[in-house]
Amino acid sequence: MDPEVLVLVLSELLVLSLDKGAEVDRAEKDGVTPLYVSCKNGHFDAARLLLDNGAEVDRANKDGATPLFVACCNGHVDAAKLLLDKGAEADRADKHGRTPLDAAKHFNHDALVVLLEDSKFPLHAAARTGDVDAMTQLLEGGVVVDAKKDGATPLFVACEKGHVNAAK
């Protein structure tokens, strides 16, 4: 069967199951939930549907691995971004003390490393791109102005990238 057709069929089955009252967070013996499996396999649409129907964003398996952790292990940037946007804890460690950032670094998923670091240091991310509006909102919201990421402050990052207005 064509993979695209299979994805459509599975999506329809998921919608029907949820419509019939399926438990969105029902876990297997090892604690694996439908959201975990969706994120592990990079099925963004299924993950979004599950989250929109009340799936717990940080529900971990028996080893403490969350959907965000497993998405980062497998290089699924879209799934990780979705989870972060829905409030996933970027620093939550599994039972071995490994975080999603550790997993992304271990498996050399550079785009995920940037995404996770930007979620931890949003002022640095805004300074890097020169997004003055975002910087203003973050500063008004009480973000730490002199937080250091790899030894650099947001001011340093803005100057390094030549964003004069962001440095002001």
Burial of 159 per CB tally in 10 Å (0-12, 13-18, 19+)? middle
Please name which of 65, 66, 64, 71 lies closest in space to residue 55, comparing C-alpha atoms. Answer: 66
**CA quadruple 112, 116, 117, 118: dihedral positive or negative?**
positive
Tell whether the model's pLDDT for residue 95 goes beyond 90. yes
The predicted pLDDT at position 83 comes to 97
Q: State mean pLDDT over 77-81.
A: 96
Quick one: pLDDT band at residue 9, thresholds 50, 70, 90?
low
Q: State mean pLDDT over 57-86.
A: 96
Question: What does pTM read for this prediction?
Answer: 0.77
The predicted pLDDT at position 12 comes to 62
- CA angle, 45 as apex, 63 and 3 as ends, to 5°? 100
Q: What's the pLDDT tens digit per position in 16-69?
A: 666 667 677 788 899 999 999 999 999 998 899 899 989 999 999 999 999 999
Q: Which residue has the higher pLDDT, 15 or 83?
A: 83
